[in-house]
Amino acid sequence: MELIIYMGLLAIFVITLTDVLVSILDIQLESQATSAVEQDSRLIIGRMGYDIPRATAIITPANRGDSANTLELDIGGVTYKYQINANNLLLDDGNGSLNLNGSETIISNLLFQKIGNAGGKNTVRVTFTIQSVAAPDSDPEVKNFVTTIGRR
């Protein structure tokens, strides 16, 4: 009888411990997804915030009010091109393509709109969605971004 009671208490303890460990792993996966989205979004916005102000011209989109899925900038005679390929944001800087997001995120809904005042420096409104690549049992972290970056 004592052995049955001992085994019952041990089973309850093991089940409780397993539930706690599963909860901890779920929270860790959620935290990693949030972190990946935040890090990649900061890198993307930071890189565009570096390139757009130093551009001598915005090639695509061509005219004020135009929108495009790609952004082409002339920086010192070199064409820099931002575009999506297979859910990755690529930057072609003349020396090859750089993947701006990590393997834990995907980029979608990328849109560039050229705005600004007539006779002034052009500005680009950038819109994109970044989503974490979630584990099978969890929901992905999704964030939409809209920012405006101007030339100097």
152 or 89: which leads in pLDDT: 89
Average pLDDT, the chain: 92
What pLDDT score does 135 carry? 63
Please name the residues in contact with 51: beta carbons below 8 A apart, sequence gap of 6 or more: 73, 75, 80, 91
**Average pLDDT in the 64-85 region?**
95
Residue 116's nearest CA partner among 147, 71, 83, 149 is 149
- The kind and range of the H/E element at 100 are none
Check pLDDT > 90 for residue 15.
yes
What pLDDT score does 122 carry? 84
State how far the alpha carbon of 70 is from the alpha carbons of 3, 85, 90, 94, 117, in Å: 70, 11, 10, 15, 22
CA distance 27 to 72: 40
What pLDDT score does 120 carry? 73
For 36, the token pair is: 């990946």
pLDDT-based confidence at 151, cuts 50/70/90? confident
Tens-place pLDDT, residues 114-135: 998 777 778 999 999 999 987 6
Give the DSSP letter string of 107-123: EEEEEEEEE--TTS--E
Check pLDDT > 90 for residue 18.
yes
What pLDDT score does 129 carry? 97
Greatest CA span in the chain, whole angstroms? 91
What is the residue extent of each domain of the chain?
2-150
For 83, the token pair is: 């575009």
Residue located via tokens 């939409």: 144
